[in-house]
Structure 1
Amino acid sequence: MKICIIAEGSYPYVTGGVSSWIQTLITNMPEYEFIIYAIGAEKKAKGKFKYKLPSNIVHIEEIFFDDFPDEEEKWGHVYHLTMEEREAFKSLLDSNDPDWDTLLSVLSGDKIDSAIHFLKSKDFFDIVHEICLEKYDQVPFTEMFWSLRSMILPLFLCMKHPVPEADLYHSVSTGYAGIIGSLGKHLHKKPFILTEHGIYTREREEEIIKARWVKGYFKDLWIQYFYNLSNGAYDLANQVITLFQRNKEIQVELGCPIKKISIIPNGVNAEDFLHISKRESGESKGMNIGAIVRIVPIKDIKTMIQSFALVKEEIKHAKFYIMGPTEEDEEYYEECIQLVENLKVKDVIFTGEVNVKDYIQDMDVLVLSSISEGQPLVLLEGMACKKPFVATDVGNCRGILMGEQDDLGRAGIVVPVMQYVEMSWAIIQLCRDEKLREKMGAVGRERVIGFYSKKQFIEQYQQLYKDMVNNKWLV
């Protein structure tokens, strides 16, 4: 069996999270061959993989949004679209119900030779002009044209890029990856499954609302566009996998048919962490607080730093280790360094990318301050090491730490997003109560063993793959 995994902005260029999940899935299924269709933002990342690729990856197809020729001479070409094709393109731009069947057919065929040429064509100009006359007559046409063009260029680049033939297509998010999974199904008549770790549309919506590069009256357009991409993937997928119940409820609210959705939680092998020893600690000996995290805005490192500044006032010998790569967003990393300097807080250590197992045994408390998550593997790994957590109330963090299927008790403390004072109080409470740390740590490990095993996670996907390829499709 040959499986094409489609990943956007993650594997194999970024470590942790979804990337770690993909690596685990592939390495634990040596009986299958895998193709990676990797979607990235910048061509400079080409071939720069953060993982040693397993031997059962037989091909990597890379596509980057900034990798296209500038062919000015092609302005004004006429493609002679049918009325149905014209309306399909228009539906992608100005409705909440795009005609994906027609879009997939025309963009995967020979009629349109390239994404760039089409976006410089008279056909595209006329479609945008018609939309402006009907709905946006107060918006300058030039602004609308270039905004819509930049909005759909990445999608069209992906859809005109070759999709390798496989027995099954597996997208690990909606968005562009979800549409490419749909295209693989359309082209090769093979099943398509979708795993959604977080809710892609909600994350994009938050980014667009905050974005300075999107003018106010275009924000709604961009947000609706990403909802359209996700709903297209929901409609065309044979099976949709989510990681926990609340995400399933959100997917249904967004329009995914409930009969398609199954829950397969993340899993870790608790035995891999048996060697982690208990550190002798105490407030007088010093407390080590740690975060295993990429240094990027969505992880909200600044709230961690602000909270530790308050912790340091109360726990004089505390140290804060921020463990993870710093190069993904170097500007944000520099802002974090500057915040540490501005706050004059000592003992904040950015380790860079490390083998977490070399550090985690020396941590007393672990922290997660993300503003958006799915079901974080870092929580499960930390819990397998008997480490208590302070985590923000995002994704499935509350369910993991408080328990959804058991009455074992708490494995950590949940705090509101971006509230560094509440986060500091929680960390101080754990630092000052060794018995509470031990109790939460024991609960966490027991919960991971009982409900979040890697063995169960792998077996469920193995069965899903077999069912899909054996034509047990949901339609």
Structure 2
Amino acid sequence: MKFKNLLIICNTFPDKDNTFVAGIFVKEQVKHLKKYFENIYVISPVAYGMEYLRKTHLEKYTFDNVHVYFPKYFNLPFFYFHFRDFWVNLEYSCIYDLIKRENLQFDLVHAHYTWPSGAVAIELKKKFRVPVVITEHTHITLYKELKKKNKQYINTWKQCDAIIRVNKKDIPLIVDQGEVPAQKIFHVVNGFDPLKFKYITKDDARHKLGLKNDLKIVYNVGRLYEEKGQNYLIDAINEVVKTRKDVLCIIGGSGPLRDKLQNQINDLNLQNHVLLIGFVPDELLSFWMYACDVFVLPSLSEGNPTVMFECLGCGKPFVGTKVGGVPEIIISDDYGLVVEPKNSKDLANMIKIALDKKWDSQHIKRYGEKFTWENITKDIISVYMKI
């Protein structure tokens, strides 16, 4: 491959020990892309004040041949709604200064999300004369911008060299804007790292976590944000336990809705049936996944959730909502069940069906293995080569 060094621009990126997990799917992808390059540089600009709001502290770090930077810059939320070009200019200046200061040399830019990272990448393309690939991950945001025929999005897509979309159904919507040729848009899903999920029996996993073997365990992990829909899951469990008392729902992850969700659990008297366990460190991810009977993702919006592939790769049935690329992956009742978002009663019914059904875990696992990052990064490299 002619590329030596890759520059990645992304809106968010995890810290060194993954206690800040926003953009974790980008980091997992990078871990497998790195073998194709001499160096990968990741730049994720952070506006002053954001670390305080997120309760994080982000510092540059290196793993193997990957170098991660979090340059600080001045910005205002006002620019998100008005004069958005100012936002792009501020990020571009911040990134350009870092590139010159660190003397970074790169042959290709891969931006995650069209805005602002993709728009910034186009400015880098003009300056450094390198090709740009943009992966668009969003769901609701993308539809809003397409409906508005957002010129900033369209101009960014016109000027980049390739677009990666994580689900198929949205590609015609982008083409229908009339200015982006279909041949520059590629469908590449997200993936998962099987090495993070070393097999362990359900009994051993439950013993490690102090969970009873006679329970039916429903598991969810993700950021505690509105779009992840954990409040609908809690309501669904409230319906489930009306007919069976052996169900325990484990919700892993941290975020601003923790107190609100805990209050919901308390109000419904579900303290014995729903537990918020907080941030799940990497070394416990496989234990929680293998301890459960079914994994549930009640999201209101998704691109193509990494945790879905992790679930399938561990041979666990997946119950999720019909958002983003989920229906394109859960193509058979042999792998899981899907429901409309924001419908707790239907979600409860699907959970009950999933808990009663006899699943072929090896069949699910074989299907999930198609989506390892090792396989998915080959598709990404193919896109790089085409440009």
TM score, norm. by length of structure 1: 0.68
Please report how far the alpha carbon of residue 157 of structure 1 lies from its aligned counterpart in structure 2 after TM superposition.
1.9
Deviation at 1:43, TM superposition (A): 3.4
Query: Does the residue aligned with 2:120 lie in a helix, a strand or coil?
Result: helix
8 A Cα contact 2:60 2:68, kept in partner? no
Deviation at 1:49, TM superposition (A): 4.1
Q: Does 1:161 align with 2:85?
A: no
Q: Please tell me whether the aligned partners of residues 384 and 448 of structure 1 are also in contact (alpha carbons under 8 angstroms).
A: yes
Q: Over the residues paired in the alignment, what is the CA RMSD in angstroms?
A: 3.2
Length, aligned pairs only: 360
Percent identity reads: 19
Task: Give the aligned partner of residue 128 of structure 2.
Answer: 188
Q: Counterpart of 2:176 in 1: which secondary structure?
A: helix
Counterpart-to-counterpart distance in 1, 2:57 and 2:327: 35
**Cα distance change, pair 28–3 in 1 and its aligned pair in 2 (3 A):** closer
Compare CA radii of gyration and give the structure with the larger one: 1
1:279: Cα distance to partner?
4.5
1:54 aligns with one of 63, 71, 75: 63
Q: 1:189 to 1:160 in 2, by over 3 A?
A: same
- Find the counterpart in structure 1 of residue 313 from structure 2: 384
Q: Displacement, 1:147?
A: 6.5
Q: How does 1:285-300 map to 2 (within 5 A)?
A: 285-300=214-229
Counterpart contact for 2:220–2:252, Cα < 8 Å: yes
- Equivalences for 1:392-407 in 2 at 5 Å? 392-402=321-331
Deviation at 1:271, TM superposition (A): 6.6
Select the structure with the greater relative contact order (CA < 8 A; seq sep ≥ 6).
Answer: 2
Amino acid paired to 2:258:
Y
Contact 1:14/1:50 (<8 A) preserved: no
Aligned counterparts, 1:2-41, within 5 A: 2-12=5-15, 18-30=23-35, 31-40=37-46
Residue 228 of structure 1 aligns to which amino acid in structure 2? K
- What CA distance in whole angstroms lies between the structure 2 residues aligned with 1:253 and 1:259? 13
**Does the CA-based 8 Å contact 2:132-2:162 persist in structure 1?**
yes
CA distance in 2, matches of 1:316, 1:182: 55
TM superposition shift of 1:302: 0.8
SS at 1:356 equivalent? helix
Residue type of the alignment partner of 2:367: R
Q: Partner residue of 1:334?
A: 259
Change (3 A) 1:247 1:22: farther
Deviations 1:422-456 (A, max 9, x none): 001111112223x1xx23x444222222x323222
Q: Deviations over 1:310-335 (max 9, x none)?
A: 11222202111001123xxx2x2221
> Mapping of 1:246-285 within 5 angstroms?
246-255=169-178, 256-270=180-194, 273=197, 275-279=199-203, 285=214
- 2:269 corresponds to which of 330, 337, 344: 344
The match for 1:431 is 355
| Conserved 8 A contact 2:167-2:188 | yes
Mapped contact 2:299–2:341 kept (Cα < 8 A): yes
Aligned runs of 1:347-358 on 2, under 5 Å? 347-354=273-280, 355-358=284-287
Q: What is the CA–CA distance in structure 2 between the aligned matches of 1:64 and 1:305, rounded to whole Å?
A: 39
Structure 1 residues 251, 295: closer, same or farther in 2, change over 3 A? same
**Larger deviation: 356-365 or 1-10?**
1-10
**1:228 is matched with which residue: 128, 137, 151?**
151
Is 1:422 the counterpart of 2:342 in the alignment? no
Q: What is the alpha-carbon distance in structure 2 between the residues aligned to residue 41 and residue 290 of structure 1?
A: 34
For 2:14 and 2:181, the matched residues in 1 are separated by: 28
Unaligned runs of 5+ residues in structure 2 are: 100-104, 207-211
Instruction: Report the CA distance between 1:14 and its aligned residue.
Output: 7.5
Residue pairs, 1:59-98, within 5 angstroms: 60-64=69-73, 66=75
